[in-house]
Amino acid sequence: MRITDTSDLWWKTAVVYCLDVQTFMDWDDDGMGDFTGLAQRMDYLHDLGITCLWLMPFYPTGDRDDGYDITDFFGVDPRLGTHGDLVEVIRTANDRGIRVIADLVVNHTSIQHPWFRSARRSKDAPFHDFYVWRSDEPPDTSDQVVFPDAENSIWEFNEPTGEWYLHHFYKEQPDLDVTNPKVRDEVAKVMGFWLQMGLSGFRMDAVPFFLDTVGGDQKDFPDPHEFMRALRAFLGRRVHGGVILGEVNLPHAQQAVFFGGPEGDELTMQFDFLAMQALYLSMARADAGPLAKALLDRPEVSPDNQWATFVRNHDELTLDKLSDEERAEVFAAFGPDPSMQVYGRGLRRRLPPMLDGDPRRLRMVYSLLFSLPGTPVLFYGEEIGMGENPELEGRMAVRTPMQWTDGPNGGFSQAPPRKLRRPLTTGGYGPEFVNVADQRRDPESLLSFMKLLIRRYRECPELGWGGFEVLDQPHASVLAHLCRWEDGAMVAVHNLGPEPQTVPLTLEGCDSSHRLEDLLQERSTPLDEKGRAELALEGYGYRWLRVVAEGSRRLL
Ligand code: GLC
């Protein structure tokens, strides 16, 4: 292990946990989660084993897009607490070895942001040039809107100036003009501010839109990637080990560009949206092929970069990169009712209901998530198997309050239910059946299983650091892969189908002096003189195996 390689790149073996303060824990009983409630739950998060907390937007907001429309980049939504309360959260987290990052939403502001309120008044108003305008009638752009249920153009007419402004998302989210150096300086200032408050980096929202210069009128703007490089360098100067985890839902080849190519000097990490979508296709077909292909298609990235893996997030489960037929297959398997679908491209569901609550399948998927090469990201509530509330509008279905107990409001708040920020999930996934208190002391619970996966992931540097190979074996429903780093190697086998399988494997470079040690259970499998073994897998079975050479010092 080389010192230059390891601890500084903490995020290569991190476990990231995303939560929204407003729906996590309400400590002052006004129905809205708050920083104090979150601080009270820090030991829970520490016990779970996460090492990085990603806070969804906590800034003052116009409340059009659940906090992703910000009215003050330097502020804290007073309903959640104060800057002081946030600092206590960061401090409490850091004390337990957890770093905190937060959403950086700088592609756009809220329409109510003072910049835009000024900008829209007249063509020479202060801040007019912070936004992107056009004075001629826009063409049909209905195919470019992100929220087709609410918008039919990315341009909105502004009466006082007789111009149209650009908004990729809701019309209440006007896009900032990144070609304007003043805007670029403000973005850096926002980052600098929150880093000074103790954040370890950002989850950068909607990066391709943010760097998009179409419609900008500052002619001498350099390559937007130069700006991204400048931001990354700025971050590195301000905070040792600072990260930018970028939301870039583009084909892998384009993601490579957002990493900064071989230099790796732009986004530190990116979500692997392609592998995530392929995972669902693989599950729908009980065929590991699409997932294996997506993982093998990942471009080589610099050691300074990392893929972030995930199963669900706060948005719709987007399937936009699948073909129409493939998407239809996933819809049919996991969300056949049109009410479960959204924007024609995704599902507004959490994982357990999609799998009809099948615990074997659920555990297999999380075992897969934690054994794939990359840094796993969890969305709050996944660790206890929360479901969605289909009664809520659009994507809000998956953003219901955290379920702590089977008591009133799931222990989230003591406010009267009508005052809650958002209703809880009801029915079979409601707090009565799914909650932290019931699972905490139950060694057989999903929560206990998640803790085990997290612990093992952290003990297997091969997963965060290593090279990845798909191993040959005869079953379409099985993914067998190997991660290798320095003298360590581990094999993971997952059965995406319901039938038990026996998986023959040959491990190159191994012989009968090696053996396979199961990491999730007590079991040891010898290899023969040619490095061969047969592994038994149940339907939806999964095994993690460390390749042990004689004299190995790796943890078993
Ligand atoms: C990102 C966020 C999403 C938000 C959008 C606009 O895609 O994940 O929740 O609506 O950006 O900020």
pLDDT tens, residue by residue, 416-439: 999 999 999 999 999 999 999 999
Residue of the nearest CA to atom 6 in ligand 1?
A: 68
Among 305, 270, 274, CA closest to 465: 305
Q: Which residues contact 150 (CB under 8 A, 6 or more apart)?
A: 170
Report the nearest atom of ligand 1 relative to the CA of 313: 8
Return the percent helix, strand and coil in the chain, to nearest 5: 35, 20, 45
Task: Please give the backbone phi and psi of residue 354, each rounded to the nearest 5 degrees, phi first.
Answer: -65, -30
Among 157, 497, 502, CA closest to 358: 497
Residue of the nearest CA to atom 4 in ligand 1?
A: 68
Residue 294 and residue 183 share a domain: yes
Residue 484 and residue 535 share a domain: yes
Helix axes 273-285, 359-371, angle to 10 degrees: 150
Does the structure show a pLDDT above 90 at 221? Answer: no
Task: Find the range with the poorest average confidence among 160-174, 207-221, 512-526.
Answer: 207-221
Q: How far is the CA of 205 from the centre of ligand 1 (A)?
A: 6
136 found inside a domain:
yes
Q: How far is the CA of 378 from the centre of ligand 1 (A)?
A: 17
* Confidence at residue 2, expressed as pLDDT on a 0 to 100 scale: 59
E strand segments, 167-204: 201-204
Which pLDDT tens digit goes with each residue over 516-544? Answer: 999 999 999 999 999 999 999 999 999 99
E strand segments, 33-75: 52-55
Q: How far is the CA of 240 from the centre of ligand 1 (A)?
A: 28
Which pLDDT tens digit goes with each residue over 372-421? Answer: 999 999 999 999 999 999 999 999 999 999 999 999 999 999 999 999 99
Tell me which of 56, 205, 379, 398 to substitute to probe ligand 1's pocket, judged by most ligand atoms within 8 Å of the beta carbon. 205
Among 389, 408, 410, CA closest to 399: 389
DSSP 344: T
Tell me which of 22, 54, 65, 273 to substitute to probe ligand 1's pocket, judged by most ligand atoms within 8 Å of the beta carbon. 65
Does the structure show a pLDDT above 80 at 142? Answer: yes
Report the nearest atom of ligand 1 relative to the CA of 108: 12
Q: Which tokens is 540 given?
A: 């939806």
* Confidence at residue 54, expressed as pLDDT on a 0 to 100 scale: 99
What sign results for the dihedral spanned by CA atoms 543, 99, 175, 83?
Answer: positive
The identity of residue 510, as a single letter, is C
Return the active site residues: 205, 247
Which pLDDT tens digit goes with each residue over 86-95? Answer: 999 999 999 9
Across residues 443-472, what is the average pLDDT?
Answer: 96
- Count up the domains in the chain and report the number: 3
The identity of residue 491, as a single letter, is V
CATH of the domain at 44: 3.20.20.80
Q: Is 315 in the pocket of ligand 1 (CB under 6 A)?
A: yes
Residue 24 · residue 410 · CB < 8 Å = no
Range of the structural domain that residue 228 is part of: 4-107+179-457
Residue 213 and residue 121 share a domain: no
Q: Is 206 in the pocket of ligand 1 (CB under 6 A)?
A: yes
CATH of the domain at 525: 2.60.40.1180
Q: Is 105 in the pocket of ligand 1 (CB under 6 A)?
A: yes
Task: Please give the backbone phi and psi of residue 159, each rounded to the nearest 5 degrees, phi first.
Answer: -45, -55
Q: Which tokens is 210 given?
A: 């943010």
The DSSP annotation for 135-155 comes to -SPP---GGG-S-TTT-S-SE
Across residues 53-62, what is the average pLDDT?
Answer: 98
CB atoms under 10 Å from CB of 338, counted, come to: 8
Tell me which of 68, 249, 313 to substitute to probe ligand 1's pocket, judged by most ligand atoms within 8 Å of the beta carbon. 68
* Confidence at residue 554, expressed as pLDDT on a 0 to 100 scale: 72
Residue 331 and residue 301 share a domain: yes
> Tokens 């230059």 belong to which residue?
4
Report the nearest atom of ligand 1 relative to the CA of 395: 9
What sign results for the dihedral spanned by CA atoms 510, 512, 516, 517?
Answer: negative
Residue 101 and residue 72 share a domain: yes
Residue 482 and residue 367 share a domain: no
* Confidence at residue 552, expressed as pLDDT on a 0 to 100 scale: 78
Residue 442 and residue 545 share a domain: no
Residue 499 and residue 354 share a domain: no
46 found inside a domain:
yes
Which pLDDT tens digit goes with each residue over 469-527? Answer: 999 999 999 999 999 998 889 999 999 999 999 999 999 999 999 999 999 999 999 99
Mean pLDDT for the chain?
96
Does the structure show a pLDDT above 80 at 214? Answer: no
> Tokens 């019309």 belong to which residue?
171
Query: What is each CA distance from 29 to 80, 104, 413, 437, in whole angstroms?
Result: 12, 28, 5, 19
What is the DSSP pairing of strand 515-518 with strand 524-526? antiparallel
3-state helix/strand/coil string of 4-44:
CCCHHHHHHHCCEEEECHHHCCCCCCCCCCCHHHHHHCHHH
CATH of the domain at 129: 3.90.400.10
Residue 192 and residue 121 share a domain: no
> Between residues 502 and 214, which one has the greater pLDDT?
502
556 found inside a domain:
no
Task: Find the range with the poorest average confidence among 71-80, 117-126, 379-388, 479-488.
Answer: 479-488
Does the structure show a pLDDT above 90 at 219? Answer: no
Residue of the nearest CA to atom 7 in ligand 1?
A: 206
Q: Which residues contact 200 (CB under 8 A, 6 or more apart)?
A: 52, 99, 100, 101, 239, 241, 242, 243
Q: How far is the CA of 107 from the centre of ligand 1 (A)?
A: 10
Residue 214 and residue 122 share a domain: no
Across residues 446-457, what is the average pLDDT?
Answer: 98
313 found inside a domain:
yes
Across residues 99-119, what is the average pLDDT?
Answer: 98
pLDDT tier for residue 216 given thresholds of 50, 70 and 90: low
Residue of the nearest CA to atom 12 in ligand 1?
A: 68
Report the nearest atom of ligand 1 relative to the CA of 147: 10
Q: Which tokens is 229 given?
A: 């490089």
Residue 303 and residue 365 share a domain: yes
Rounded to whole angstroms, the Cα distance separating 246 from 267 reads 6
Q: Is 68 in the pocket of ligand 1 (CB under 6 A)?
A: yes
226 found inside a domain:
yes
* Confidence at residue 215, expressed as pLDDT on a 0 to 100 scale: 65
Domain boundary among 426, 457, 488: 457
* Confidence at residue 217, expressed as pLDDT on a 0 to 100 scale: 57
Among 287, 207, 196, 274, CA closest to 242: 196
Q: Is 210 in the pocket of ligand 1 (CB under 6 A)?
A: no
Rounded to whole angstroms, the Cα distance separating 454 from 442 reads 17
Across residues 11-33, what is the average pLDDT?
Answer: 98
Residue 352 and residue 399 share a domain: yes
Rounded to whole angstroms, the Cα distance separating 91 from 269 reads 24
* Confidence at residue 487, expressed as pLDDT on a 0 to 100 scale: 82
